[in-house]
Structure formats: structure tokens, C-alpha cells
Structure 1
Amino acid sequence: MIEAVGLTKRYGDKTAVYNLSFQVRPGAVTGFLGPNGSGKSTTMRMILGLDNPTAGHVTIGGYPYRKLPNAPRQVGALLDAKAVHGGRAARNHLLCLAQLSGIPAKRVDEVLGVVGLQDVAKKRSKGFSLGMGQRLGIAAALLGDPQVLLFDEPVNGLDPEGILWVRNLMKALAAEGRTVFVSSHLMSEMALTADHLIVIGRGQLLADMSVTDFISANSADFARVRTPDTEPQQREKLSAALTESGGHVLPEQDGALRVTGLPLPRISDIAHDHDVRLWELSPHQASLEEAYMRMTQGAVDYRSTIDQKEGLQQPLPPGAQPPMPVPGQGQPGWYAPPPPQQGGHPFAMPPQGAPGQAPSGPYGAPGGTPAPPAASAAAPPNPYAQPPGHSPQPSAQQPAPQAPQPPAQPAAQAPQAPAVPAGEAPQAPAMPAAPAPQASAAPAPPASAPTSDLTKPEDPR
């Protein structure tokens, strides 16, 4: 069994996975779903000890992967089918892995037969197609006959026959009591293969439940009702009767009715009581793809502008983070993760508190990085208001009546305007703000750019 508790992984200022907790139980195929960039590959790498979590831990059978004795014989994984030396034959590649793990050589020939590569065992892998590379990666995962298996996109590049073979293989491995953890983007295949689903978005847990519960929790089931097309009055009569009984009726484009809020037996009884003949009364349940798209719509990072224009995906406001609902909480089979550490949203900057207070949120937790938010919070008031080594006292030493004196004495006091700021450079632009002649001479492009007197000589036309 795989158990993750509070997994968090940060790469610099980017949080890839935050407080992720779940369990992958044996005897079932557990699907791992999420949009691109949601942290699926990072989570699998942390399970296999390839990446160290910033916080939290993950165990396999109660032990971290690195502490498992002879881990290749207990855990098999396929993360990248291309991670094979192209100049090495398929059999030699598997034989090398077997010798490193103390696996007999006869096991190599067995797994080659399982994946169907026995006829090309002596060919170099650089000539393999994408599907053949996937089969070789699956053979490497099965080499040690492990009890725990992790697959990242195992059907990528396979033909329909190969997809069916992988599906049956996953189910057979789970039926033997093994732990099977599969990540895939093919919703139709996951609906046929997986028994349980773990869905994440932007590094956070969105759902941890069975496939049936996931579809029911993220789709609006309805009944499709159809009356004779030659009798439109019966359609209107049934629609009014269903509405009076508490149902919600919407017309379909083909003339049928979409009814929600009433079970099918109740709809049939209402139609019978009002002498309405039915040509169709069928339940409709959303597919896994529809339920998945509905849940993860707010967690998609890469959005097409065409989809936004057509209303298929609503754009998020800049900096806004959608709520992360977890439907199914409290239902049977729900695994409640431990509460997160003190803090707020993982992707929001921590609140700016008092100078002596430590920032809250994930950056304030042990191992976080509170310095960048604090530096950004203190940056605005200091950089350009007062240059280093300068104090506001020179402005106090300069008498206030001297500001209007330069216009009164054009010959004697005019040269003193550049002479006074020689030691007090920052006060020169601020002092002659009122007189019009000096305002044009002062370097203040933003204030003088909109005036018509300056735009005329600078206009090239």
C-alpha cells in the first residue's frame, strides 16, 4: 500500500505539490488524474524517492522507498519509456536490470513474452516505435514481480490492441492483490480500467473516491422523456404535470424533454396518471470525461483563447485562485487527509504582519522561504524616496522665503538655482515646482509631456 501524508514540494518560489494526502490500496486499480502541470509526475517521483519532498512523507508498505530492501523486487515503475540506451538490445537492457537486482535471467525471457517483444528481443531499442518502447518499459516494471506498480501514461503510443492488452494486464495485476497506481489522460480508458480515482489540481487534492461516486458527485443526472411527435399537446401536458410535481423540465433540440429532480418511476407514474403516452424514458449519466472536465475546469493552467471566446472555459481573473472542492467527503471510502499546517493558500503570498511577527502560510512553515515575501513587502517605500546617505534636513536648512526669490532677482539669484542643488541634488526638482519658467527647465517628463507647448516642437510632422 502507498500512503502519502502532507506531501509538499517546492521548486524555488513555485509550489508543485502542497499538503497532498492519499492512500493507494492493494487489490484495485487506482487512477491518478489531473491537468498538465498539476503535480502528478512530481508526486510519483517523490513516491519512488527520486525527489525529496519539502514537507510531509510517503511510504510504501510502511517504509520509504529508499529504505526498502531490494526495492526493484518490491516496486516496479514506468515513468519514462524513453529512458533506455538506444544502442542496447531489448533483452540486454532487461538483463542488465535483472543482474543489478539479483533477478534470474530466465525472468527476462518471461517478461519479454508477457509484453510481446520476444521476436524483437535482440534488436536495438533505438529502432523501436513509441508503442514498442512502452511495452519495453512495462516489461522492466514487471521484471522483479513486484507487489506495487506505478505507471505513468502506460498506453501512450499503443494501438487499440495494445490498449486493450494494458487494460487487461492492469486488472489482472490488481486481481492478484497487487497495488496498481496508474496516471493517464485518457478518460475513456480510465473509466474502463480504474476502480478508484485520485484527482489533483494545481498540486492539491480534489477528489479521492470510486469512479462511480466521482461521476455522480460531478455530474447532473437527468431523465430523457419523449412523447409522440404527432401530439405536441401531450408534450406540453406532461411538462406542466412534471413541473407541478417538483421536477425541472428543459426542452431538447430534438423535441424531447430533459427532466431533473424526479426519479424515473415517478416520471412514469405522472405520465400514466395524465394519460400521456411515452416514446422514450431513459436515464442519462455523465461520462467520466464530463465529470472530470467539470471538476478540473478551474484548475487548468493552459487555456486556449478559442475556448474562452466560445465560452467552453471561463478565464480566471489575474491572480485569482479557484476554490478547490473535495466532493464525496464523509462518504464511504473517503480518506480524510490530516489537517494542513498553520497557513493559508499555498499559492498566495503570506499576509504582511507586524515587523516582529513571523509570516504565516506555507512560506512560514519550517523549511519555507519567508524572506522573499518580506523583502517584496518592504521594497516599495525605500528605493527611490530617499537615496542612501541623504536626509530630509537640508530642506529644513533651506529657508522657505528663498524659493520665490529667484524670479524676483533674475541676474543675481538665477545662477544660484543650480548652485544650491549642487550639494542637495534631490531638492532641486522639488523646490521650483510653482514657477512656470523653471518647471519647463526641470527634468520632469511625465508632468510636462501632456502640455501642448512641448508636443508641438517634438512632433516630427
Structure 2
Amino acid sequence: MIEAVGLTKRYGAKTAVYNLSFQVRPGAVTGFLGPNGSGKSTTMRMILGLDNPTSGQVTIGGFPYRKLPNAPRQVGALLDAKAVHGGRHARNHLLCLAQLSGIPARRVDEVLGVVGLQDVARKRSKGFSLGMGQRLGIAAALLGDPQVLLFDEPVNGLDPEGILWVRNLMKSLAAEGRTVFVSSHLMSEMALTADHLIVIGRGQLLADMTIKDFISHNSADFARVRTPDTEPQQREKLTAALTEAGGQVLPEQDGALRVTGLPLPRISDLAHSADVRLWELSPHQASLEEAYMRMTQGAVDYRSTIDQKAGLQQELPPGAMPPQQMPVAGQGQPGWYAPPPPQQGGQPFAMPQGQPGPYGAPAAPGAGQPGLYGAPAAPVAPGAADVNPYAQAAPQAPAQPPAAPAAAPAAAPDLTKPEDAR
């Protein structure tokens, strides 16, 4: 079992991990989730004794990693698949690790067969693909037949068959009673592999619970309801009945209704009472990805700004209408998708309010202000916003030239007039 108590790591003024406490128990696959820069890699390095914590402690089976007798026989880890001498054969790389830990040579050939690299055992690792390098790293982690295993992005670069193999491998290792700790950004894969989740954001613990509980606590389920498309009056009648009963009804782009606040049997009873025929009445449960995004949206450090594509769109001809913005069903209304997320990771991120940006997205902060993207804003001709609000029009010459000073001997020629242009 892995146990962290009050784990804190600072690099100068930067606090990578703060007061982190959790347990990774044997017999289950524990997923380790968090945004980039949240402290996952730092935590795993401290578990393996590669970094010393500023305060707190982390133990494996009751001992710090550095005090474990013959640690490679008890703990296996894959943190960086590229940490291999490129000039060595795959077998020689594993053989060196085995000799350092007192592992018999026959185990090298066993793990090469487990990861499927027996046919390339005599090839130099510098010629391996990303997926082959991942398999070699997993082989190194399995070399000592350890009871505790840590994997950082183990399916990175693997093809679908390889991903399925890793998924089954993790489950089989946990079924043998081993402690399996897996860090990954692939939510769909974590949903299929992990039994328990530890989620951190900005170095602090956000969640420590089963996947089922995590999704339940960080999402709002809703029901999809559809009435006959040829009878819009029934859709309106059902909307009124559901709203009167305390439900929240939001239209979706495909014509269905999204209903929250009412259970499915109640929705069915209300539709029957209103004499409304239903073509669809189905429950919707949020995915792990949706729940994760809602939990961690206040702890994301790296966000993309919205590309306004300033100056790249051609101006529409006079009188033409700008392209219609595609509405998002229910966006901005109460009950959209789910209630606000927990506040442990900081303030939840909110899209900037104001005028819509291109393609229906909200405008980026500072859009339209001088100096956006580091360059002064180009002047926009009067009325250009009525033609295309996202295109930058070139400045137009004034209708009448400025009057020449009275003391000037002659007015400057007006090149806007045909006779002066000649």
C-alpha cells in the first residue's frame, strides 16, 4: 500500500504539492488524475524517492522507498519510456536492470514475451517507435515481479490493440492483489480501467473516491425527451406541463428536450396526463470526462485564448448579412449541464461575458481593445461593423479634403478628383 501524509513539495517560491494525503490500496486500479502542472509527476517522483518532500512523508508498505530492501523487487515504475540508452538492445537493457537487482536472466525473456517484444529483443531501442518504447518501459516495471506498480501515461503511443492489452494487464495485476497506481489524461480509458480515483489540482487534493461516486458528485443527470417532430404543439404542451411541475426544460439542437429536476417516471406520468405522445424518454448520466472537467475547471493553469482570426476574414459585400451564430442549447441558463463545481481548486472558470466572438464562441478577453496580440489595433472605417463585425476594414479617405491654410500660396491637389489625378 502507498500512503502519503501531509506531502508538500516546494521549488523556491513555487509550491508544486501542498499538504497532500491519500492512500493507494492493493487489489484495485487507482487512477491519478489532474490537469497539466497539478503536481502528479512530482508526487510520483516523491513516492519513488527521486525527489525529497519539503514536508510530510510518503511510504510504501510502511517504509520510505529508499529504505526498502531491494526496492526494484518490491516496486516497479514507468515514469519516462524514453529513459533508455538508445544504443542498447532491448534485451540487454533489461538484462542490466536485472543484474543490478539480483533478478535471474530468465525473467528478462519472460517479460519480453509478456509485453510482446520477443521478436525485437536484439534490436537497438533508438529505433523503437513510441509504442514499442512504452512496452519496453512496462517490461522494466514488471521485471522484479513487484507488488506495487506505478505507471505514468502507460498507453501513450500505443495502438488500439496495445491500449486494450494495457487495460487488461492493469486489471489482472490488481486482481492478483497488487497495488496499481496509474496516471493518465485519457478519461475514457480511466473510466474502463480504474476502480478508484485520486484527483488533484494545483497540488491539492480534490477528490479521493470511487469512479461511480466521483461522477455522481460532480455532474447532474438529465432526461432526454422527444415528441413527434410533426406536432410541435405537443412539444410546447409538454414543456409547459414539465415546467409547471418544477422541472427545468432546455431545448437541444436536434429538437429534443433536456429535462432536469424530475425523475423519469414523473416525466412519463406528466406526459400521459397532458395527452402527449413520446418518441423518446431516456436517462443521461454524465461521463467521467464531463465530471472531471467540471471538478477541475477552476484548477487549470494553461488555457487557450480564442483565436479571433483578426484580419484574415474577407469583408462581406455591402448589404450582406454576417453568418448566423449557432446557438448552444441552454447555455447561460440555470441548470445548464450541472450545478457549479466544488471550490477546492479555486474559483470556477467562467467564459467572458459580452459580445459573441467568431463561430458563435464568446469573445476573448480584451478583444477589440488596442494592442490585442501585442500589436496596435487597426482603425476601422465607420459602418464597417454593420457589414462584418469581425473583419478589419482599411481606413477610408475623407469625403472632402481639409481646407488649405489661408497663407498657403496654393491648395494641394486633390487626387480624389479625376482632373487633379491626371
Q: TM-score range by the shorter chain?
A: 0.7 to 0.9
- Report Cα offsets for 1:354-396 as digits up to 9, x if no partner: xxxxxxxxxxxxxxxxxxxxxxxxxxxxxxxxxxxxxxxxxxx
Count of aligned pairs between the two proteins = 319
Q: Structure 1 CA distance, aligned partners of 2:164 and 2:306?
A: 34
Aligned to 2:194: 194
Aligned to 2:52: 52
Alignment of 1:247-396 (within 5 A): 247-306=247-306, 325=343
Percent of aligned pairs with the same residue?
Answer: 92
Aligned to 1:36: 36
8 Å contact from structure 1 (residues 199, 208) kept in 2:
yes
Secondary structure (helix, strand or coil) at the match of 1:228 reads coil
Q: Structure 1 CA distance, aligned partners of 2:225 and 2:308?
A: 32
Aligned to 1:369: none
Question: Displacement of 1:274 after TM fit?
Answer: 2.1
Q: Structure 2 CA distance, aligned partners of 1:308 and 1:138?
A: 44
Q: Which structure 2 segments of 5+ residues have no match?
A: 310-324, 329-339, 347-422
Q: TM-score, normalised by structure 2?
A: 0.73
Paired amino acid for 1:243: T
- Report Cα offsets for 1:110-158 as digits up to 9, x if no partner: 0000000000111111111111110000000000111110000111111
Report which of the two has the higher share of helix.
Answer: 1
Question: Displacement of 1:268 after TM fit?
Answer: 1.0
Q: Structure 2 CA distance, aligned partners of 1:76 and 1:206?
A: 26
Structure 1 residues 307 and 296: alpha-carbon distance in aligned structure 2, compared to 1, 3 A threshold: farther
Question: Displacement of 1:165 after TM fit?
Answer: 0.7
Aligned to 2:117: 117
8 Å contact from structure 2 (residues 295, 341) kept in 1:
no
Paired amino acid for 2:207: A
8 Å contact from structure 2 (residues 10, 17) kept in 1:
yes
8 Å contact from structure 2 (residues 294, 341) kept in 1:
no
Question: Displacement of 1:273 after TM fit?
Answer: 2.1
Aligned to 1:231: 231
8 Å contact from structure 1 (residues 174, 180) kept in 2:
yes
- Report Cα offsets for 1:431-459 as digits up to 9, x if no partner: xxxxxxxxxxxxxxxxxxxxxxxxxxxxx
Paired amino acid for 2:173: L
Question: Displacement of 1:243 after TM fit?
Answer: 1.4
Q: Structure 1 CA distance, aligned partners of 2:80 and 2:342?
A: 30
Aligned to 1:2: 2
Q: Structure 2 CA distance, aligned partners of 1:118 and 1:323?
A: 48
Q: Which structure 1 segments of 5+ residues have no match?
A: 313-321, 328-344, 346-461
Paired amino acid for 1:244: E
4+ residue runs over 2 A deviation: 307-310, 322-327
Aligned to 1:216: 216
Q: Structure 2 CA distance, aligned partners of 1:274 and 1:306?
A: 45
Secondary structure (helix, strand or coil) at the match of 1:58 reads strand
Question: Displacement of 1:37 after TM fit?
Answer: 0.8
Secondary structure (helix, strand or coil) at the match of 1:174 reads helix
Aligned to 1:176: 176
Aligned to 1:335: none
Q: TM-score, normalised by structure 1?
A: 0.67
Question: Displacement of 1:324 after TM fit?
Answer: 6.5
- Report Cα offsets for 1:400-457 as digits up to 9, x if no partner: xxxxxxxxxxxxxxxxxxxxxxxxxxxxxxxxxxxxxxxxxxxxxxxxxxxxxxxxxx
Q: Structure 2 CA distance, aligned partners of 1:64 and 1:54?
A: 15
Aligned to 1:402: none
Q: Structure 1 CA distance, aligned partners of 2:105 and 2:255?
A: 66
Secondary structure (helix, strand or coil) at the match of 2:306 reads helix
Q: Structure 2 CA distance, aligned partners of 1:12 and 1:183?
A: 26
Question: Displacement of 1:325 after TM fit?
Answer: 3.3
Q: Does residue 70 of structure 2 align to residue 70 of structure 1?
A: yes
Question: Displacement of 1:323 after TM fit?
Answer: 9.5
Question: Displacement of 1:307 after TM fit?
Answer: 7.4
Aligned to 1:139: 139
Paired amino acid for 2:293: M
8 Å contact from structure 2 (residues 218, 341) kept in 1:
no
Structure 1 residues 307 and 291: alpha-carbon distance in aligned structure 2, compared to 1, 3 A threshold: farther
Aligned to 2:382: none
The more displaced of 298-307 and 149-158 is: 298-307
